[in-house]
Amino acid sequence: MGKCARESNLVISGRHIAVISPRVILQYAPGEEVVVWVNKIGPFNNPQETYTYNTLPFCRAAGAEEPEAHALGIGEILEGNELFNSGQQLKFAVDTPRTTLCAQTLTDADALQFGAAVDEHYWYQMSVDDLPVWGLVGKVMKPTDDLEYLKLFPVGTRVLYTHKKYSISYNGPHIIHVNLTYSDVLTSIASNKKVEFTYEVVWSKTDIAFEDRFDRYLEDEFFEHQIHWFSIFNSFMMVIFLCGLVALILLRTLKNDYARFAEDDAEELMMDGKSSLLKDDANSGWKLLHGDVFRAPPYLLLFTALVGTGAQLLVLSVCLMLIAIGSSLYIEPGGIVSVGLTVYAFSSLANGYASGAFYHQFFYPRVSKDWIRAMCLSSALLPTVTFVSVFFINALAVFYGTTYAIPFVTIVQVVLVWFFVSCPLAVLGTILGRHGAAKAGFPCRVNKFPREVPEARWYLRPPVLIALTGVLPFGSIFIEMYFIFASFWNYKFYYVYGFMLLVFIILTIVTLCVTIVCTYFLLNAENYRWHWTSFAAAGSTALYVFIYAIYFYFFKTNMSGFLQTCFYFGYIASTATLNVNEASAKRAVQQIKAKKGRRIEICETGSRSVVNAEVTATIKQPRSWAGMVSSKCSMCSVNPFAW
């Protein structure tokens, strides 16, 4: 087949079953065989409704009744690839005149199948030296077609493209470009019609380097359009505005409190046995919640699992984008998927660390008996949700017989990677989180009895805050969503991962800012139940992404059919779920340590007990102002809460 040279880049080789392997570069000698692999075939408007090439009744070359199968990696299988030797005889740097591959006489069933395929605009994908080429099965004659062909085939006639012409350029021992021309010879589709499939090959030299051979597949004018840069600038200005808004809230809200706490004398604080700090007019709004903001949220185990899963997805996203920027993963079939699976398995360490630290703080200095349950739920939550979604979609794929049906062996491989790599790392991360990051509890003890939450105005209620908070983060990624959707659903290679990383950073900052503001409004309304509200507020961006996906489906694509609709909305629902989980990590990443006021003494004349209190301002987590100002009693933990 050709000599192999290995490249040290971290990419995926489609010629190996291993998840990650060195890239294999084929080098050919003149006259050496070049294999043309046929891949998948399906309706052009439905990208996920693809079948094996031999699903249509194409005849096969002599001696190729059982075509050779191409070894595929996990990523290629999950992308729905299934390659077989086409039987076409290509010799490196040697022109091949028009040659008959095979001939057949169409039966009634064959004519019906080909006719239906032409009506649905069936396309096929082939591969030559890992370079993809595409072609159409046939077409329906239109009045705008060449008059020469219209004389032979009237308008409305279904015809097959029966001739393939390969124009291949090479540089030294490497294949650089492959062009496929398939519209020169037409054959009408009819029962008992004899059809002959032919091909020819023309070779030419080129000066293009091997490293640049994939550039022709990258649509620079589309991805690097001026509007792409404008969207980045627009989002950046939004970040500046929101950061300024958050800073303004901090300054205006806390400035007077800091000044008053610093100027008051201990003697002036005692008035009829009560401190002025405890008066309702001085301590209104969020300042009354210091004894309740650290109360454990309902369904703590589930919330812990979501925090851990979000941290894992955050690490996965950043690592995958950095790897994609540093290496050309989009060149290799299945590269992104294979590397993504590998990074996900190792990022389970972040899952265990975040969930272990978060859960342990609610029971410090004791150890909860349910920490093992929390660890198991955190490590199994996302795989379980994904498995349920994939099981439903895969059942449909198996029923329809598409190439996106995941083989049982591949499912077993993925499960083994999760069980033997991901789970142990999650256990290790949980242990590190419990013993390393969670050495201190909250800065103030939680009150024994929960505070009553007063009735809030309609615009300060959690559902309204949640719905409004997701608008600005979605606005920061709206333009990039179009490019990503167009790539995934419209046969384009997405390669501008630098843009994606910038937009991701902007999205993170915007999410932090708007959830800080949202949580401040919530606490200012004396509602200490901020955990789930702050989580859902950032995650509400996923709701707008899903709404945009519905718009994209109906107005930007021509998809149809039950199978493709289930694939589309199944993928979108899974992606939206991942966005919600990832949003939980963004609230656990940032912590701004507080400024501390001076120690003051508050005396209660009735009981003559003296309590040392220290005013501590803390901003916890990007979506929570819990504990912004807390009165720390002497029995409370000394160290502030830290991740």
Query: For 178-216, how does the pLDDT look when each residue is reduced to its tens digit (9 = 90+)?
Result: 999 987 789 999 999 999 999 999 999 999 999 899 988
| Cβ contact 93:351 at 8 Å | no
Task: Reduce the secondary structure of 169-231 to three states and give it as a string.
Answer: EEECCEEEEEEEECCCCEEECCCCCEEEEEEEEEEEECCCCHHHCCHHHCCHHHHCCHHHHHH
* The pLDDT of residue 24: 63
* The pLDDT of residue 375: 93
Amino acid at 121: H
Best mean pLDDT range from 197-201, 437-441, 599-603, 632-636: 197-201
Q: How many other CB atoms are found less than 10 A from the CB of residue 34?
A: 24
| Cβ contact 137:162 at 8 Å | no
From the DSSP assignment, how many helices (H) and strands (E) are in the chain? Answer: 17, 23
- How many CA atoms lie less than 13 Å away from 547 in the CB half-sphere? 11
Answer whether residue 47 shows pLDDT above 60: yes
DSSP 231-285: HHHHHHHHHHHHHHHHHHHHHHHHHHHHHHHHH--TGGGEETTEEGGGSTTTS-G
CA 510/CA 579 separation, integer angstroms: 14
CA 100/CA 93 separation, integer angstroms: 20
Amino acid at 22: P
**What pairs with residue 25 in β-bridges?**
5
- Indicate whether this model's pTM tops 0.85: no
Answer whether residue 4 shows pLDDT above 80: no
Q: Could you read off the pLDDT of 286-331 as tens digits, one per residue?
A: 667 777 888 889 999 999 999 999 999 999 999 999 999 988 787 8
* The pLDDT of residue 249: 76
Best mean pLDDT range from 574-578, 587-591, 594-598, 638-642: 574-578
| Cβ contact 191:108 at 8 Å | yes
Answer whether residue 27 shows pLDDT above 50: yes
Q: Could you read off the pLDDT of 260-270 as tens digits, one per residue?
A: 555 554 444 44
CA 643/CA 640 separation, integer angstroms: 10
DSSP code at position 640: P
Q: What percent of the chain has pLDDT over 90?
A: 48
Q: What are phi and psi of 38, to 5 degrees?
A: -90, 140
C-alpha of 433 from chain center: 26
- β-strands 158-161, 90-91 pairing: unpaired
Q: Could you read off the pLDDT of 520-571 as tens digits, one per residue?
A: 888 888 888 889 999 999 999 999 999 999 999 999 999 999 999 999 998 8
**In terms of pLDDT, which residue wins out, 364 or 468?**
468
Rg (CA), the chain: 31
DSSP 454-487: PPPPGGGSHHHHHHHHTHHHHHHHHHHHHHHHHH
Answer whether residue 233 shows pLDDT above 90: no
* The pLDDT of residue 188: 93
Structure tokens at 518: 């949202």
SS3 state at 59:
coil
Q: What percent of the chain has pLDDT over 70?
A: 79
Q: Could you read off the pLDDT of 367-412 as tens digits, one per residue?
A: 788 889 999 999 999 999 999 989 999 999 999 999 999 999 999 9
